[in-house]
Structure 1
């Protein structure tokens, strides 16, 4: 028998202890740092939890995370139907998530994808000796929040959320009192740190600003924890080389996916 329900707090706590954080970083963030704003939709087969869809509504698009206990036991159409009922999302709306290889194959098998998937690398910092001794940036203060938000949005940082400026430190580089590079964190917590939204204005690229800024942000992360991550598109080879030069290595290769709930 297949049933669905919203997960209880006890089940969420159990999942935090059970999952591999490095291989399921997005889902782990839903369970922990995004927990207060997330909805967890569970599928049970013969009373055993087989799959979970985490949902957050405050992104610019319907944002999901997907976790499988056993990919061979998931009833995808039934899970999507229940998810539409709970979230009240139309079956045609385009949603976003990040999937591992087996989960991607599952979505493809049920014709859920709306665009070609994008390869995405989750990278973890492992070598502090490779970091630069740089102090080119300054912390963004509250009076600058509007300007930095505009700068990052104009730079195409679609995963940037303005609330991150309140939760996490952000740093910027200015020239003639205008931001030319900036970056911060998706999460800045002792459980783990995730760098994000590192952007240099096109006119100022080639000066090493991104490398120096990434190094400075990594130093800040080390003050909290040894679990420091960042994400990068798989075809962004210059950025991947830069991060490797700073002591990062690939922890997981996944795919960014646009999909529908039907």
Structure 2
């Protein structure tokens, strides 16, 4: 009998990171046992986020804790109404004391705990942090109103490691950086999972009136490992697509 599902999720995040997928979001629904009495058993949703922020061309940094808190409050206000209170300093000891809190429904009913996992927990479980999580007690929430929903297709996860390739394109200054990444996504929608601008440069080595836009392209094979020839062929298609869309030339 376990008091928390977080050790399982932290271990899963570590295994994903070792396989080349450090940026994960995981959840589990199931019973937790906080004591020996029947009322100490609760049904909880436990979620864990291991955010490894992508490189940004503007150097900006985002604190995932605020995103996690906003998502939690938005969800709980939909389910439990507006009387939620945020209380700090009373969480379980696996949370970072300065970067965690609990949400209460009224003065006594604890609905959720959330925040950053304590660094000593990450170290003990040999997982690179920071990690962010929440535990939500379903038993104290009112029954949600039923709404019509559409069935989504099942998520297909590949057992193969993703590949990352960087490209730097020379484009005219008037071309927006996002316009360089956009056509890349359409080259092979089944294989290219993302294309992110991580650097924009003007200066020495770049002709006047032009800028260099660096794009990180993530390839996610589905059925088999890509050969060098297949990667080179896809790269050539990416370069051709950017050239056609915005006149971008591969920077040598």
TM-score range, shorter chain: under 0.3
- Please report the TM-score for the alignment, with normalisation by the length of structure 1: 0.27
> Does 1 or 2 have the higher relative contact order (CA < 8 Å, sep 6+)?
1
Find the structure with the greater CA-based Rg. Answer: 2
Q: Which has the higher helix share?
A: 1
